[in-house]
Amino acid sequence: MYRYLVEISAVTRDLREYTKNTRTRLVVGFIALVFLIGDGLIFLFYGKEAGIFGLVCMLGALIPVLLVVIFLLIADRIVKKNQ
């Protein structure tokens, strides 16, 4: 029991790391839910071909989002390096 409490207090001390991990888990979980539930419902209601097309469309919509995120990460690293 005491060991568990020590591990919790060690986790909560670094709040920036905890926030970063939590945000990452939430984003990954949201994307997984959209793909699994959304595409799963398309597959169930409209069939295999529509499910595959829905998956292709969701992947296509994810590409611009990933490009923006990559650009922002690179810009953030450049700014931190120049400070």
Q: Give me the pLDDT at residue 29, please.
A: 93
As given in the structure block, the two tokens for residue 77 are 């690293």
How many other C-beta atoms can be found within 10 angstroms of the C-beta atom of residue 39? 20
The sign of the dihedral angle between the CA atoms of 72, 73, 76, 77 is negative
- 13 confidence band (pLDDT: 50, 70, 90): confident
How do residues 20-70 score in pLDDT, each as one tens digit? 899 999 999 999 999 999 999 999 999 999 999 999 999 999 999 999 999
As given in the structure block, the two tokens for residue 14 are 């670094």
Share of the chain above pLDDT 90, in %: 75
CA distance 3 to 78: 41
CA distance 62 to 64: 6
